[in-house]
Amino acid sequence: MKRVVITGAGTINALGHDVAATLEAMREGRCGIGPLKIRDVERLSIQIGGQVHGYDPETHFNRQQISLYDRFTQFTLLAAKEAITQSGLHFEGELASQSGVVLGTAGGGVNTWDENYRTVYEEGKNRVHPFVVPKLMNNAAASHVSMEWNLKGPSFTVATACASSNHAMGQAFHMIRSGMTTAMVTGGSESMLCFGGVKAWEGLRVMSKDACRPFSANRNGMVQGEGAAVFVFEDYDHAKARGAELLAEVIGFAMTSDAADIVMPSKQGAARAISGAIKDAGLNRDAIGYINAHGTGTAANDKTECAAVADVFGHHADKLMISSTKSMHGHLIGGTGAVELLACIMALRDGVVAPTIGYEEADPECALDVVPNVAREARVEAALSNAFAFGGLNAVLALRRV
Amino acid sequence: MPETVRDRVIQIIADQALLDVSDISMDQTLEDLGIDSLGLVESIFAIEETFDIQVPFNANDPKASAFDISSVASIVEAVQKLVADQAK
């Protein structure tokens, strides 16, 4: 089995337009959630989100590209550029023919659906732009990354709601670990902060109107975010031989299905994924110093997740740190695991654990060290990143310091 | 004669529980009727659509909502109040 390392990272999200800005915001416990600036926001009952601000597509893409790139694709391409540039890899010859891109997204081109439904239903027009389909399809982002960077190996998109990115990165990890490929571009993206995208979530009545406060007793729901994070996963020997900078090592991955309920999480399903990832990594549970929680800020998720962690870790649950960075960047749905992996890398590499901000009141059902409100310096040898999706699909990654 | 708010709410709950209206009694809870959290959110949606009202309800903390869902009677009463408030 090959060892797998991360040699490049890129992102754009509500906290920053690149990795450095995002990690700085996480260190400072800054909140990227604020009033939504979208069309018809006054008709929404939920009017906040972790929106990417100060972003003008025309500074990055030409008119022809914009006609093909939905916002989720634009975010993906920007994050991929940062990650691949950092990795220093040039995809040519054999490396290009083996390497691919596996990305997660739950909704794909939601803005494109939204805008074009308006055109035909609201405005009553009978014609839409010819590129609607290639713009909105869930694999558009993965395909454009492959075209932009000459990635000719296995490429596809994974859609498992809120676990999409973790499932995607798990596939990339497996492909390199098994020796099938040398390098993979992987991560995820989401952009559904538009009228229809927020309206759909409103319907479930699990959204907060004021803030995302994971693990806090007064939490009242999740807040949506948007953006992307993309990584270069690479065979350790290959990366080492070319003198690449190693950000972290991916050492384990596990997936489980609750097989129980379409929205309510299950403690057993989550616990099996967490313990499975630790086992796959060949670690003792005591080795885990930090968990980036799924931590959505809903009543159901947070207490179930804490119970699962307590079950898996026993006494060690009281010693490890677990934080939810969704409190800062919001829930990026299919892209969330990718942005959250950045917090794991920061913990392992920089020794800084991102906080759970908005934490106001202890909840006996979430009695773990949630790193409340202020980032913490700590040496972390191994970390987990949890993702538990609607539909009961769970995916947990394990990483190690290199 | 138009149906009362009470009749229409009970009809919505009965539809959700896949029961006959005659099988619903006012002191029953949603749990008694086999209506889970998704069923509840769907019932509230149906109530909002039927009466053209906004029901204040957050699934994260049903008890904190002004809308009392502890029994069929409490739901009927809460809807009657919302409908009356709207008429003002």
CATH architecture under which domain A252-400 falls = 3-Layer(aba) Sandwich (3.40)
What confidence tens digit (pLDDT) does each residue in A199-224 have? Answer: 999 999 999 999 999 999 999 999 99
Q: 3-state DSSP: chain B helix, strand, coil percent, rounded to 5?
A: 55, 0, 45
Range of the domain at B41: 5-87
Average per-residue pLDDT in chain A?
A: 97
Residues 6+ away with beta carbon under 8 Å from A59? none
Does residue A331 carry a catalytic annotation?
yes
Helical (H) or strand (E) element with A18: none
DSSP symbols for A227-261: EEEEEEEEEHHHHHHTTPPP-EEEEEEEEEE--S-
What confidence tens digit (pLDDT) does each residue in A81-93 have? Answer: 999 999 999 999 9
Task: Supply the pLDDT for residue A268.
Answer: 98
Task: Supply the pLDDT for residue A195.
Answer: 98
* Beta strand pairing call for A288-292 and A321-323: parallel
Q: How many A×B Cβ pairs under 8 Å? A: 32
Q: For residue B42, give the CATH number of its domain.
A: 1.10.1200.10
B interface test, pick of A43, A44, A205, A215 with most B CB neighbours within 10 Å: A205
| End-to-end Cα, chain A, rounded Å | 18
Q: What's A32's DSSP letter? A: -
Residues of chain A with CATH 3.40.47.10: 4-241, 252-400
**Strand ordering across the sheet containing A288-292:** A156-158, A100-104, A183-190, A227-235, A4-13, A248-257, A393-400, A382-389, A288-292, A321-323
Residues 6+ away with beta carbon under 8 Å from A351? A377, A378, A379, A380
Task: Provide the shortest C-alpha distance from residue B88 to chain A (in Å).
Answer: 22
**In the CATH hierarchy, which top-level class contains the domain A4-241?**
alpha beta
CB contact under 8 A, B60 and A204: no
CB contact under 8 A, B61 and A299: yes
Q: What's A150's DSSP letter? A: T
* Beta strand pairing call for A288-292 and A156-158: unpaired
Q: Above 90 in pLDDT, residue B3?
A: no
Task: Provide the shortest C-alpha distance from residue B1 to chain A (in Å).
Answer: 33
Q: Above 70 in pLDDT, residue A282?
A: yes
Biggest distance spanned by C-alpha atoms of chain A: 63
pLDDT band at B7 (very low <50, low <70, confident <90, very high): very high
Q: How many CB atoms lie within 10 A of CB A202?
A: 13
What confidence tens digit (pLDDT) does each residue in A33-82 have? Answer: 999 999 999 999 999 999 999 999 999 999 999 999 999 999 999 999 99
**A75, two tokens:** 């975010």
Q: How many CB atoms lie within 10 A of CB A88?
A: 14
Does residue A162 carry a catalytic annotation?
yes
* Total number of domains constituting chain B: 1
Nearest chain B residue to A202 by CA distance is: B58
Q: Above 70 in pLDDT, residue B2?
A: no
